[in-house]
């Protein structure tokens, strides 16, 4: 049996070492003895690398007399091609005995003629092995107990899966491996460090053990199989970039040799580990098992490679960040590579390269949901138009990379100077930093690039040193660092050559009020990447995914003022929410409801059926700042709207700040648009300069389309001459019923009793509300008027202006005579009285007054509380454009607000 012992006086290892873990049978064939020698060679090489020149001298004692040599062994030729299917199972898939049994069943149920199975170490084992090395190097003696825990984990798993000679053999080999590992770790402890090769030798044991366990589990089920230590087959060349490149010719030669001695239709192979040409153990680096499977697939010319994981396939975006991400049926090789590079949990970034040459498809499937078909990665010709749900099917997915910093090297002296970029990136290379993305304007005035945040300090210092003279001379103006960045990448086959893709991407980000710091788009037409602030990363991801996938346009809503109009709106939202989500892909989530004294907040959306009771139980004291932060601070929802259903000027004063923060505002509150002119103009400028929306249709005419009609006329080039209308539902009701000998005070009392007036009828009779509507329409028409510029005919007797409501109603009959006289005069002339607001655009003025109209005039034809507005324009000069309908009431006003909410959703990407 091969062994090696130190011959130095102070031997590090008092025991001989045997590596028998790779031999599934206790009775070894001749090549097994050679393999034992080979394994000893691995160990001796690595110890030598650990100790350097002062390493102990090791001798390998081997006797072939222990084995019967059969020189007549018949070599079997490896059959390559379609008969083979390759499966790869990650650590989660083989994380316990039950899961290993499940994997064995999956392999047995695969109807392929021949199967190669690549396995990772059991879940967490690789991390445990690296931790052992860290503790040993740190001279932390707890590595001994930690290694015992590793042994116990595999022992218990084996005891639960198989028995008899197989169990005896495995446990003996495992125990011997643990003894060897303890000696290796002791060497690290003494030396205080370990080389990369020595580390690779240690951590690779996890795959050796899991491969053996799985092979025995399959044998227990009656299927003959062999297991392969891929270090005997897979040969790689280390590169300068902490990577390895497979040597396919040498690997193929060794594979043929291995198979000739181990013919089998089921082979269990170790993932992650390999050897150099010098037979030194190495690895394919972190997450390299996928890469192993792809390489083996190429060596076997397999029909397909299936990567088994714990998700149903490749998602269009990270489902932890985008709840409505969808499984992609297919991806091209290039799309999968791009998504892997930019952080998507798809495949190891290098997995694709070995299979492309032979056109071997890679399928990502869920071991815990074998009914799911998964995602197929293959040549582009088979991927076109299969994902029917995609709005623009050239965009397949969106990924993000976080924890980056943007470095910007800028200066007029850079333009046209050869070698500047080369110098910049030479400095970056010297500090070992990884450049994730580069963006440069054609003017060459600046170059910016993204690097991992943990590396940016070294990069900035290197550039400052490299360009010290240029900075001092002014040829370079700055080397600036923008921290806390993320990259959002949109990936899709030939999407850059499809008109409108980039525009749609940037438009979605703009509408979510997200600023782009840098852009990169390669001529490969597979990727558009943008750099943005890290706090915007999830919000941006949801915004673009929603736009391209026609998925739910989700809006976080905060409703301020759950009074008559606000509570009615909540009821309408409750009744319509399910229909909107199902039929229009609009997901309206009310995250907060705030009254004057208490407010209700919820992170996922308030139950609109029981909101009032919940507020009574869980409500908290009203705090407007906290309310806004809660509704807007949810980065999982890209769009936020605050709906102000109050008549409060204090709430309206915050609109400007909310719009600047990217919060949309919808309101029936007239105070902002009829308040000080300069504040109104600031709002409108802000609205026009950003993608933040401010809708206020219900401020004039409740649910009637007054504002939108006026804007439509102006935007199509018409010229407004005059707007005249009955804008108050209360005063419309009063004057529609002030006839046939009835007295004014009686009709007012009736209107109050019916609920048409404000609690204090003087708020209606004063005409102030109508004046505000006149100001709003005047300003929409381009007039710069203040509220004080509009003369108002006040119907409240001056003597009753300061009386209580009760006194006002009791004393109002004393003043009926004067207004009754005016009504009688109008009636005698065949006319009626109507309380109207007028915007005289031609003369740049407005007014609110009681006017007389002929009985055949449209204003005389009203009934109930209807409003009517007449637009006299250049196009509608002889016959004004009339808008008529209910202009008051909670239902129609709330409906007008609801309509604005849906209009906002349409602007944000919902289907129209």
pLDDT beyond 90 at 757: no
546 or 123: which leads in pLDDT = 123
What residues have CB less than 8 Å from 543, skipping those under 6 apart?
Answer: 508, 509, 511, 512, 514, 638, 639
Q: What is the pLDDT of residue 67?
A: 33
Give first-to-last CA distance, the chain, whole Å: 78
| Confidence class for position 523, pLDDT limits 50, 70, 90 | low
Query: Phi-psi bin for 862: left (phi > 0), alpha (psi -120 to 50), beta?
Result: beta
pLDDT tens, 839-863?
999 999 999 999 999 999 999 988 8
pLDDT beyond 70 at 745: yes
* Cα gap 328→722, rounded to integer Å: 57
- Most confidently predicted of 496-505, 506-515, 665-674: 665-674
* Across 10-23, average pLDDT: 36
What is the chain's mean pLDDT, rounded?
86
- Most confidently predicted of 44-53, 437-446, 584-593: 584-593
Q: Give me the DSSP letters along 571-597.
A: HHHHHHHHHHHHHH-EEEEEEEEE-SS
Q: What is the pLDDT of residue 344?
A: 64
Helix, strand, or coil here: 814? helix
Tokens of 744: 């004014």
* Cα gap 304→355, rounded to integer Å: 9
| Confidence class for position 249, pLDDT limits 50, 70, 90 | very high
| Confidence class for position 741, pLDDT limits 50, 70, 90 | confident
pLDDT tens, 410-450?
887 666 667 778 888 888 988 988 899 998 866 557 889 99
195 or 209: which leads in pLDDT = 209
DSSP-assigned letter for residue 464: H
* Cα gap 521→510, rounded to integer Å: 18
Q: What is the pLDDT of residue 9?
A: 31
Q: What is the pLDDT of residue 688?
A: 81
Name residue 643's beta-bridge partners. 559, 666
What residues have CB less than 8 Å from 441, skipping those under 6 apart?
Answer: none
Query: 């999407």: which residue's tokens?
Result: 495
Query: 């994902």: which residue's tokens?
Result: 387
* Cα gap 682→297, rounded to integer Å: 65
Q: What is the pLDDT of residue 111?
A: 93
pLDDT beyond 70 at 625: yes
| Confidence class for position 467, pLDDT limits 50, 70, 90 | confident
H/E/C letters for each residue in 497-538? HCCCHHHHHHHHHHHCCCCCCEEEECCCCCEEEEEEEHHHHH
Q: What is the pLDDT of residue 168?
A: 96
How many Cα atoms occupy the beta-carbon half-sphere of 712 within 13 Å? 9
CB 505 within 8 A of CB 544: yes
Degrees (nearest 5) of the Cα angle 602, 606, 611? 115
Q: What is the pLDDT of residue 755?
A: 77
What residues have CB less than 8 Å from 798, skipping those under 6 apart?
Answer: none
Q: What is the pLDDT of residue 413?
A: 65
* Cα gap 852→864, rounded to integer Å: 18
pLDDT beyond 70 at 390: no
Q: What is the pLDDT of residue 508?
A: 84
Query: Among 179-183, 306-310, 445-449, which is the least confidently predicted range?
Result: 445-449
Query: Among 121-125, 269-273, 697-701, which is the least confidently predicted range?
Result: 697-701
pLDDT tens, 365-382?
999 999 999 999 998 754
How many Cα atoms occupy the beta-carbon half-sphere of 330 within 13 Å? 16
Tokens of 36: 């034992």
Q: Give me the DSSP letters along 114-144.
A: EEEEEE-PSTTHHHHHHHHHHHHHTT-TTHH
Tokens of 167: 């169990």
Closest CA to 886 of 729, 730, 734, 767: 729
pLDDT beyond 80 at 52: no
Closest CA to 202 of 36, 71, 43, 318: 43
CB 50 within 8 A of CB 90: no
CB 268 within 8 A of CB 218: yes
Checking DSSP bridges between strand 236-238 and strand 375-378, what pairing results, if any? Answer: unpaired
The model scores a pTM over 0.95: no
pLDDT beyond 50 at 777: yes
* Cα gap 272→779, rounded to integer Å: 71
* Across 273-297, average pLDDT: 90
How many Cα atoms occupy the beta-carbon half-sphere of 543 within 13 Å? 26
pLDDT beyond 60 at 561: yes
The neighbour count for residue 76, using CB atoms within 10 Å, is 13
Name residue 885's beta-bridge partners. 867
Closest CA to 13 of 233, 196, 185: 185
* Cα gap 270→258, rounded to integer Å: 14
Query: Among the options 115, 376, 671, 773, which is catalytic?
Result: 773
CB 723 within 8 A of CB 838: yes
Closest CA to 212 of 43, 37, 23, 35: 23
* Cα gap 756→888, rounded to integer Å: 8
pLDDT tens, 631-677?
998 766 778 999 999 999 999 999 999 998 889 999 999 999 999 99
Residues in the chain: 912
Alpha-carbon distances of 221 from 84, 93, 104, 191, 565, rounded to whole Å: 21, 18, 8, 46, 70
Query: Among 189-198, 499-508, 790-799, which is the least confidently predicted range?
Result: 499-508
| Confidence class for position 470, pLDDT limits 50, 70, 90 | confident
Alpha-carbon distances of 49 from 180, 206, 238, 266, rounded to whole Å: 17, 22, 16, 36
Tokens of 868: 């009517």
Query: Residue 773 catalytic?
Result: yes
């Amino acid at each position: 049996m091969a062994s090696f012992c130190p011959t130095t006086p102070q031997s590090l290892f008092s025991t001989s070492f045997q590596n028998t873990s790779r031999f599934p049978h206790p009775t070894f064939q001749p090549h097994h003895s050679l393999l034992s020698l080979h394994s000893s060679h691995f160990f001796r090489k690595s110890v030598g690398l650990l100790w350097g020149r002062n390493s102990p001298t090791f001798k390998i004692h081997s006797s072939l007399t222990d084995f019967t040599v059969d020189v007549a062994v018949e070599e079997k030729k490896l059959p390559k091609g379609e008969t083979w299917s390759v499966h790869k199972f990650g650590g989660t898939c083989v994380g316990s005995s039950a899961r290993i049994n499940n994997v064995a069943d999956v392999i047995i149920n695969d109807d392929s003629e021949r199967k190669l199975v690549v396995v990772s170490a059991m879940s967490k084992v690789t991390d445990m092995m690296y931790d052992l090395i860290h503790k040993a190097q740190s001279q932390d003696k707890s590595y001994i107990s930690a290694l015992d825990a590793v042994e116990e984990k595999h022992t218990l798993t084996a005891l639960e899966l198989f028995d008899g000679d197989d169990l005896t053999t495995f446990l003996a080999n495992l125990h011997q491996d643990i003894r060897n590992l303890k000696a290796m770790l002791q060497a690290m402890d003494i030396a205080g460090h370990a080389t990369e090769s020595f580390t690779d030798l240690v951590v690779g044991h996890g795959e050796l053990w899991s491969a053996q366990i799985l092979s025995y589990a399959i044998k227990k089920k009656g299927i003959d199989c062999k297991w392969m230590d891929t270090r005997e087959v897979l040969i790689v060349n280390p590169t300068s970039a902490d990577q390895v490149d497979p040597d396919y010719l040498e690997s193929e030669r060794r594979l043929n040799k291995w198979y000739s001695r181990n013919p089998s239709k089921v082979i269990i192979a170790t993932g992650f580990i390999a050897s150099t040409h010098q037979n030194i153990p190495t690895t394919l680096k972190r997450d390299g098992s996928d890469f192993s499977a792809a390489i083996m697939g190429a060596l076997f010319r397999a029909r397909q490679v299936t990567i088994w994981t714990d998700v149903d396939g490749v998602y269009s975006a990270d489902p932890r960040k985008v709840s409505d991400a969808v499984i992609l049926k297919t991806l091209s090789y290039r799309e999968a590579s791009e998504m892997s590079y930019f952080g998507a949990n798809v495949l190891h970034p290098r997995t694709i390269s070995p299979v492309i040459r032979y056109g071997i498809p890679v399928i990502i499937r869920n071991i815990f949901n074998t009914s799911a078909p998964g995602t197929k990665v293959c040549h582009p010709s088979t991927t076109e138009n299969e994902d029917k749900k995609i709005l623009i099917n050239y965009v397949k997915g969106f990924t993000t990379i976080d924890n980056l910093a943007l470095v910007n090297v800028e200066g007029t002296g850079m333009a046209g100077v050869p070698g500047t970029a080369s110098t910049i990136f030479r400095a970056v290379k010297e500090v070992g930093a990884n450049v994730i993305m580069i963006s440069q304007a054609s003017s060459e005035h600046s170059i910016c690039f993204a690097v991992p945040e943990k590396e940016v300090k070294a990069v900035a210092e290197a550039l400052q040193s490299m360009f010290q003279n240029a900075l001092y001379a002014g040829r370079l103006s700055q080397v600036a660092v923008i921290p806390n960045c993320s990259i959002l990448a949109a990936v899709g086959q030939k999407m850059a050559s499809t008109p409108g893709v980039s525009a749609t991407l940037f438009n979605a980000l703009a509408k979510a009020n997200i600023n782009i710091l840098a852009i990169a788009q390669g001529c490969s037409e597979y990727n558009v990447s943008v750099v943005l602030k890290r706090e915007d990363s999830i919000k941006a991801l949801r915004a673009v995914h929603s736009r391209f996938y026609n998925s739910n346009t989700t809006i976080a809503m905060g409703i301020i003022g759950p009074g008559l109009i606000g509570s009615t709106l909540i009821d309408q939202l409750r009744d319509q929410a399910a229909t909107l989500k199902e039929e229009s892909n609009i997901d309206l989530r009310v995250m907060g409801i705030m009254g004057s004294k208490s407010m209700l907040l919820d992170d996922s959306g308030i139950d609109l059926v029981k909101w009032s009771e919940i507020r009574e139980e869980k409500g908290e004291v009203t705090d407007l700042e906290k309310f806004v932060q809660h509704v807007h601070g949810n980065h999982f929802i890209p769009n936020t709207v605050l709906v102000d259903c109050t008549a409060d000027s204090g709430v309206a004063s915050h609109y400007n700040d909310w719009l600047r923060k990217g919060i949309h505002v919808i309101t029936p509150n007239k105070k902002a648009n009829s308040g000080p002119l300069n504040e109104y103009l600031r709002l409108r400028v802000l609205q026009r300069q950003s993608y933040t929306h401010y809708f206020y249709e219900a401020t004039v005419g409740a649910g009637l389309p007054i504002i939108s009609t006026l804007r439509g006329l102006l935007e199509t080039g018409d010229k407004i001459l005059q707007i005249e209308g009955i804008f108050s539902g209360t005063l419309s009701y009063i004057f529609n019923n002030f006839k046939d000998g009835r007295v004014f005070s009686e009709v007012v009392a009736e209107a109050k009793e019916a609920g048409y007036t404000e609690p204090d009828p003087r708020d209606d009779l004063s005409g102030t509300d109508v004046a505000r509507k006149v100001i709003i329409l005047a300003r929409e028409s381009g007039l710069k008027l203040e509220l004080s510029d509009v003369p108002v005919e006040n119907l409240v007797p001056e003597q009753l202006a300061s009386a209580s409501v009760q006194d006002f109603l009791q004393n109002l009959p004393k003043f009926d005579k004067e207004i009754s006289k005016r009504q009688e005069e109008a009636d005698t002339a065949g006319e009626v009285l109507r309380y109207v607001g007028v915007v005289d655009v031609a003369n740049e003025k407005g007014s609110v007054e009681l006017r007389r109209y002929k009985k055949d005039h449209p204003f005389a034809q009203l009934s109930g509380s209807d409003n009517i507005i007449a637009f006299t324009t250049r196009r509608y000069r002889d016959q004004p454009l009339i808008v008529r309908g209910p202009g008051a009431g909670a239902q129609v006003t709330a409906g007008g607000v609801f309509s604005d909410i849906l209009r906002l959703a349409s602007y944000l990407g919902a289907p129209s």
